[in-house]
Copies of this chain bind each other. A is one copy, B any other.
Amino acid sequence: MVLLLPTLFIGIFMSDLLETALNPRTVAIIGASENIHKIGGRPIYYMQKGGFKGTIYPINPSREEVQGLKSYASLAQLPEVPELVLIVVAGDKAVEAVEDCAARGVKSVVVMASGFGETGPEGRATQQRMTDAGRATGMRIYGPNTHGLANFGTGAIAGFSTMFIERPPQDGPVAVLSQSGGMSAMVYGLLRERGIGVRHVHATGNEADVTVAEMAWAIAHDPEIKLMLLYLENIANPEVLARTAAYARTRDLPIIAVKAGRTAGGQQAASTHTGSMANEERVVDAFFKKHGIWRVRDPHAQALCAQAYLKGWRPTGNRLVVISNSGASCVMGADAAEENGLALSILSASTQKAVATSLPGFATTTNPIDITAALLSNSNLFSEVLPAVAQDPSADMFFINIPVAGAGYDVEAFARDTAKFEALTGKPVAVAAWQDTVAKPFIAAGVPTFANEAQAVGVLGQLAAHTALMNESFEPWHDLQAVHVPEGSGAYCSEAQTLKLLASHGIPIVKHQLCQTAAEVREAFVTVGGPVVLKACSAEVPHKSEFGLVALGVQSADVAATIFESQRKKLTEMKVSHEGIIVAAMSRGRHECMVGARFDPVFGPVVMIGAGGKYVEALKDYAVLLPPFSLEQVESALRGLRMAPLLDGVRGDAPMDVKAFAQVAVSVGRLMMAAGPSIASLDLNPVMVGAVGEGAVVVDALLERGGRS
């Protein structure tokens, strides 16, 4: 085990309580074992081997010595109160040990045993006893149901993962924080296999107390950490993670997260694994996006991209040059570029000319550059073509695809030339080479090397998109206007109340009039201007169209008066209170959009924007945004929807007034933030959006009251 980096700073950056877990002076192991393949044996073995400078106290009443260290019969027998205690015993004994540790003033405990919160209500109750014991004295708990913690900067390895034997540690710039012990080990192992050094490998298990987010906050302050990888099965305290991400952006620390439980089946499995509550997928995506955290599928994807991030590459553009000795690999490289949000660089005439001097006449000098099987006859083609391309200003990134090489090819030279090229340009370069013999020289030369174009170009695309995301401006909103949800006892506000509230927050609403008599309706028909809509206004009938209480396209005052009477009669029959009948203007020739919002118990206000109409839930063409967000972010989200082509006008339509719609979304976001939990949900559907300059107008609105904030 090699300790590359100084450990002194750890006391400076980390909160005191986390420091006793990550850099303890004294560690006790309750259930210490002589056998290094037992859970109680591994941490002692790892710490002794890993250069841990503190004191280790094995606790095992049946032994005199454990792994060469004096063994103690109990916590009480130790010469001092240890800062950190590893609890390897199971069941009730684990709970008792936690309580004992708390009583004796231990600062941190790691509980490795499983069989608590993840098993059901009874297990959750037992786990709560541990939480309570810790909270009572301020002792922090890691786990239960965890592989433990490992800090290769200090040698404090309070974990038992087999992986630290399989892939020997080396301190380095990466932190791995995970709810799952297995996944922390796997990411660590995958990184080590690629020769990447890892300092922090911590698993929080059931998170009876300390969460991944809290650890992330502490570890983001370790200035030597250049990349943070998270594995999550739920997001319990998004505010801590959000704060961490905001801080990480200020110091250019990329965070890449796996959030498993993407599907119904996966969420069910997660609840029996770490006892995680399900988060809604789209909200999780929106949360990560908002905070500049990149989400990937699995630990393999995390390990795959690490080297490119650690190179410090932060591409300023998304234009890719593809170079290959196979035409087919050029084709597939071009496909991969488009599929990963990259454009192909358009090479200048002078670049093409320079390339052409090296290549045979039948080769392609446009991008992708096919240097063809002629590489077999002339090993210099690489070294000649690369510098020619390097100077092209349209080239933000480079991808070299070598599907076939070997005997007869000077692969060492290709690798050397590529590394030189990379150093020369300072721009991202990725290589795809599946053959060991071809990949090895590139890997040895420090060039990020992948098995195929999907992976290589995927990582380049991720790097470009993540860099752009991390650079997005991020302004919190100020001067929020207080929200007064109208008084009332029911679950919903009436439509008239809701429209009034929206209007008072500057949101454009449909021209309408609340009428109590047929005469008022006749008058409203003229004021509002026909044709009109008649809608019964009752807080007790939120879904009025289902009861025939909406009449569209009413063409005359006479008809309106008749409908008024019949709607009022219907309300009387339904025995519901009401505020009258709304006469509202009809919107024609506009697009039906919608803005929805709800207060999520975990994430707080959540805003949905997209296509409106009756089938919003069925067709799901909407994006999720977490406030605060900008007009530009609304527009960018709209551009990602299936309805996006309509925004610019198709089939003779004028372009839509996207800005006006975005303003409605921003206003709803502000309203929801100010309202907090006092509004459970708010649905504006449809919001009719006209052509540019015509604005957007809320035609129908429903507000569901929440608990008081």
Contact = CB atoms under 8 A, between A and B. Distances in A.
A328 B452 contact: no
Interface string A106-147: 000000001110110001000000000000000000000001
A650 interface: yes
Contacts of A368: 269
A297 B334 contact: no
Interface residues of A, number: 100
B437 A339 contact: no
A236 B360 CA distance: 28
A376 B37 contact: yes
A185 B265 contact: no
Contacts of A272: 327, 330, 364, 366, 370
A233 B328 contact: yes
A300 B434 contact: yes
Interface stretch (A496-504, A610-618, A631-639): A610-618
A361 interface: yes
Given A404-B163, A453-B298, A651-B614, A263 B327 contact: no
Given A118-B362, A165-B406, A407-B162, A642 B614 contact: no
A208 to B, nearest CB: 15
A273 interface: yes
Nearest to A328: B180
Given A39-B376, A265-B344, A269-B368, A161 B651 contact: no
B327 A274 contact: yes
Interface in A351-401: 360-362, 364, 366, 368, 370, 372-373, 376-377
A652 interface: yes
A406 B163 contact: yes
A260 interface: yes
A278 to B, nearest CB: 11
Nearest to A113: B362
Contact of A619 (B165, B325, B617, B645): B645
B334 A615 contact: no
A599 B510 CA distance: 48
B331 A650 contact: no
Interface in A528-568: 546
Contacts of A170: none
One complex includes copies of this chain to the number of 2
A266 interface: yes
Contact of A261 (B179, B266, B268, B331): B331
Contact of A339 (B262, B331, B614): B262
Given A263-B338, A546-B652, A646-B615, A162 B404 contact: yes
A663 interface: no
A189 B331 contact: no
A409 interface: yes
B376 A335 contact: no
Nearest to A166: B406
A333 B311 CA distance: 32
B615 A642 contact: no
A454 B337 CA distance: 21
A445 interface: no
A404 B331 contact: no
26 contacts: A39-B376, A162-B407, A163-B406, A165-B406, A166-B435, A178-B328, A179-B328, A181-B326, A182-B325, A182-B404, A183-B326, A186-B403, A233-B328, A260-B332, A263-B337, A266-B335, A269-B330, A269-B331, A272-B330, A272-B364, A273-B328, A298-B453, A300-B454, A615-B651, A618-B645, A618-B651
Given A115-B361, A262-B339, A620-B642, 10 more contacts: A166-B437, A180-B327, A181-B326, A181-B373, A183-B329, A186-B434, A260-B331, A263-B334, A269-B327, A546-B652
